[in-house]
Chains A and B, each alone.
Chain A
Amino acid sequence: MKARMLAMHVALPVLAIAATSTQAHAADFDWMKFKGKTVTFLANNNPVSQALLTYKADFEKLTGMTLKVDGYQEQQMRQRLVTVMNANSDEVDVFMTLPSREGEQFAAAGWYGDLTAMAKNDVAKDYDPAGLSQALLKAATFGGKLTSMPMNLEGPIFYYRTDIFKKCGLEAPKTIKDVEAAAEKIKTCDSTVTPFVSRGLKPAIAYTFSNLLHNVGGSYIANGKSNLCSAKGREALDTYSRLLRDFGPPGVVNYSFQQISALYRSGRAAMAFESSNELRTVMEGGARLKDTGLLPFPAGDAGQVPTTIGWGMAVSSHSKQPDAAWYFVQWATSPEVQKKMALQGIAPPRPSVANDPEYRKWIDEEPVRKEWQAALDVLATKGSSEVGYPIVANPQSREFIGQAVQDLILKQKTIDQACADADKALDALIALN
């Protein structure tokens, strides 16, 4: 999906307008405009919102508003959102959203409030909407409407144990074939560790698999049809499932980020392909601080096309106070707050924050942080936000991708059967689009 392989600093018309008109309205901007109101925030209880909500009191002091937080784990948050939105309820003013996953679906259902005008007309002097990642803003724009403001930048990156690589006489992998060769060598060189681990839990697979598919030059859709049975699709399915089946931990089909981080942090995996957001978790306790190298996932025939996504903050279309809700969104995605979050390990979606001296100092404190930032820079400049099929039923498409990979890991189907079954189910989904 070339349209979404976005360069970080390509300006979009909508933000260009925003940037030029900001000065005209900034002088009238008053953070206390909605003093006394209460804004309800439906949050996914992940590291991004946890870092943000550390500063909840600052928002309330700045605006005189009360912030009511309704926090759940990711799936439960969506369950709550579906219930609220289907009931046309105004219970939620602001919610967290993943445009790459549910953006098309929520936009088509009319659940997102349109932020285009607010981001243009109602911004504080220092908000700088044009300073936000243009790639992420474009990924959050549906039908010309800006639906959410980016909170962070993330994607799967490649964690590897430098000490094990050194012991086994290996160099940092440059290509996918190097990863396979390293896994093979580690299997014999150090039998106490799992050579490679990544996501094997069905709904979670698309997040990491998409990176590999794009790196080998594959695409999910060609000529309006599902493309998993293409040569590149098969190659990606075969490589990903083989890496997990032959070199992954037992029970990898139940592995998502929690298990992967725990395995790698405990020193029982030599290579892990997992979210950049997991850096803080992986480094907890400090055991992996000095023996971990970080890279974007090594290149395939199409080079490096990392998966780059970000959580966004959206205003509910049913909110009775979208203007007050926007103030919260604006505060949460402001340079000042995003800098504070960055110092907690949340990758900023603003190049200006990424270049901030204080943030750079924090990055320079540890070599692993430098590598993390370097990997994020590649994600920001070369990334694709395509995780699963770019269709309204994206969440369901991830199920079928995951099913095909699991069928291969568990040797329940041949690659011909697995991709054909997936393509058949996915074609039906595409037809509904």
Chain B
Amino acid sequence: MSDTAAILTQDRQKLEMSALSAPAVVFTVAMIAFPVVYTIWLGFQTFSSTGKQSFAGLANYSKLVSDYEFWHGLWVTIALFVLSLVLQLVFGVWLALVLFHAKRLPGIVRSLFISPFMMPPVVAGMMWLVILDPSLGAANYILQSFGLPPSDWLASPTWVIPTIALIDSWQWTPYVALIVLGGLQSLPPSVYEAAQIDGASAFKTFQRITLPLLLPTIVTAAILRSVDLLRFFDIIYITTQGGPGNASNTLNIYGFRVGFEFFNIGYASALMLTLTAIVFGAVLAFNRLRGAVAW
């Protein structure tokens, strides 16, 4: 076969492969692109309470700048994000270390440790709603059994964010622990042997070797959790619906209510696109951090 014929055959094969895979590619792109493009388009529309629609240009975005609820929602979102992420990373690393070193821990105990994140968030929300009920819940009963004062938990404007952060951390810390455990198991044993020969204490070994080497894994876990935390919805909606008052009204909850309870889909789309931009920003920032700590 001449070179020209071989090239033509290769080109035909490529063409055939492209033609065969085109439907799947088009379908996938459409499935991703259509909702995004549609939401962007909706963000430029305004809907009256009766669903009447008209082009609004950038009105939804300019409204957003002067909307107190938006800024409040952003603040609540960030507060919940920071608090939950810190709790989950700190306790996730700790739990991973426990599981890593407790090699003789029975499988059932290991499974129990990681079971919360397998529970649907709606179920977790319902369960904690009952446990934390100030009148009927077990949490206050336990506190009072130890002579401690009861708490209003989810009904207190002051404590609602820490309480939701605790619920989310209860559920997702094991997930972070699993990721970190994977990172721990892949660390080179030679550096630990060298540290042992040099007489490094357990704390120094953790501080100077384990933690730096684990950082890329921890940042990966942080990225995964960040995306979820910024979009956090289910547990908040089940437990407080954004209350008491607006104390737990995250951007996601606010956007949902604007869209599906007040029927202003245009403004809700603008809110959600802004939140999407924030999520992208956070992921980009963490990606840069991951690049900086890579080894």
Contacts and interface: CB of A to CB of B under 8 A. Distances in A.
A433 to B, nearest CB: 8
Contact of A396 (B49, B51, B157, B239): B49
Contacts, number: 88
A268 B135 contact: yes
A86 B51 contact: yes
Contact of A202 (B133, B134, B245): B245
Given A202-B241, A393-B262, A396-B261, A251 B49 contact: no
Contact of B265 (A86, A202, A406): A86
A251 B155 contact: yes
Contacts of B241: 201-203
Contact of B133 (A86, A110, A251): A251
B255 to A, nearest CB: 13
A253 B260 contact: no
Interface residues of A, number: 37
A395 B51 contact: no
B190 to A, nearest CB: 55
Q: Is the interface of A mostly helix, strand, loop or mixed?
A: helix
B49 A393 contact: yes
B153 A251 contact: yes
A249 interface: yes
Interface in A237-259: 249-254, 259
B234 to A, nearest CB: 12
A45 interface: no
B48 interface: yes
Contacts of B263: 82, 105, 109
A66 to B, nearest CB: 29
Contacts of B51: 85-86, 109, 111
Interface in B166-205: none
Given A105-B49, A253-B155, A406 B243 contact: yes
A259 B260 contact: no
A259 B154 CA distance: 13
B244 interface: yes
B50 interface: yes
B134 A250 contact: yes
B260 A250 contact: no
Interface in A419-433: 432
A340 interface: no
A259 B240 CA distance: 13
Contact of A392 (B49, B133, B156): B49
Contacts of A262: 136
Contact of A252 (B136, B153, B155, B239): B155
Given A108-B50, A268-B135, A432-B48, A253 B243 contact: yes
Which of B52, B133, B157 neighbours the largest number of chain A CB atoms within 10 Å of its CB?
A: B133
A403 B245 contact: yes
Given A202-B245, A259-B133, A268-B135, A254 B240 contact: yes
A395 to B, nearest CB: 6
B49 A410 contact: no
A60 interface: no
B150 interface: yes
Contacts of A253: 155, 243-245
Nearest to A79: B260
Interface in B258-278: 259-263, 265
A416 B261 CA distance: 28
A263 interface: yes
A266 interface: yes
B288 to A, nearest CB: 37
A46 B261 CA distance: 19
Contacts of B243: 201-202, 253-254, 406
Interface string B220-239: 00000000000000000001
Interface of A: 75, 78-79, 82, 85-86, 105, 108-111, 194, 201-203, 249-254, 259, 262-263, 266, 268, 392-393, 395-396, 399, 403, 406-407, 410, 412, 432
14 contacts: A78-B260, A86-B265, A105-B49, A108-B49, A109-B52, A194-B135, A249-B134, A250-B134, A253-B155, A259-B133, A395-B261, A395-B262, A410-B244, A432-B48
